Amino acid sequence: MAQASVLGLEDSITPSGVQNGNMSNESQPAPGHPVRRVSEDGYVAYPTLVDSRADPDAAAVLTGDSGGTIFLTAPVRLIGCDEAALWTLVADIDAVTWMCGGDTFCTRVDFEHRPIPSTVWGGDGGGEVIDGVWTHQMLSDEIADYSRLVVEAKVDRIPSGLTTGPS
C-alpha cells in the first residue's frame, strides 16, 4: 500500500548498503556524520536504527545537501517506521527543497547519541533534538506534518504534489 511519492518513484529509496532495513558495514565503515564525528568531543553514532535502539538518548538525524542541512530529527524511541522508510523520507524531503532533487548521494540518515534537548550542528541553522519530531523551518507545514506521520509509521511516504517553503 505504498503512496505515490514526491519523486514518482517506486516503493522506497535506500542507499545501496541498506538491505532489509539494515545498513551493511561495507557501505558505511564508520557510523555517523563525518564532520560531526571529527569535530564533536564524545560523538557517538550507531550504524543502524536497530543498533541505536539500545541507547535511550539516541536520535535519528535526516540531512540533505550532502549532510549539511538538517531536515528532521527524532528521538529513536519515537520512531515507528523502519530504516528504509527514513531513507525514503529524506530523499522525498530533499526532492522538494533546493538541495539535490532527491539524489540519494546527497542525503543522509544518521543515528546519534543526542539527549533531549540538544543541538545538532549543521548548515542553515542546524537542528534541534526535542521530545518529538523536529523539522527545519524551510519545510512547509504540510511537508512537516507528513514527515511526522512517516516517522510514526502512519503513512508510507510524503504524497506527490506537495510544495515546500515557509508558509
**79 lies in a domain?**
yes
Query: Is the predicted pLDDT of residue 15 greater than 60, yes or no?
Result: no
Q: How many domains does the chain have?
A: 1
Range of lowest pLDDT (99-103, 110-114, 143-147): 99-103
Given a contact cutoff of 8 angstroms between Cβ atoms, the answer to whether 105 and 111 are in contact is: no
**7 lies in a domain?**
no
pLDDT value of residue 27? 52
**165 lies in a domain?**
no
**82 lies in a domain?**
yes
Range of the domain at 95: 21-151
Q: What is the DSSP letter of 149?
A: H
Would you state the cell numbers that stand for residue 66, as one nine-digit string? 550532502
Instruction: Find cell 519523486 and name the residue.
Output: 7
**83 lies in a domain?**
yes
Rg, Å, the chain Cα set? 14
At residue 149 the predicted structure's pLDDT band, cuts being 50, 70 and 90, is very high
**What does the pLDDT look like over 104-129, one tens digit per residue?**
678 999 999 999 999 999 888 999 99
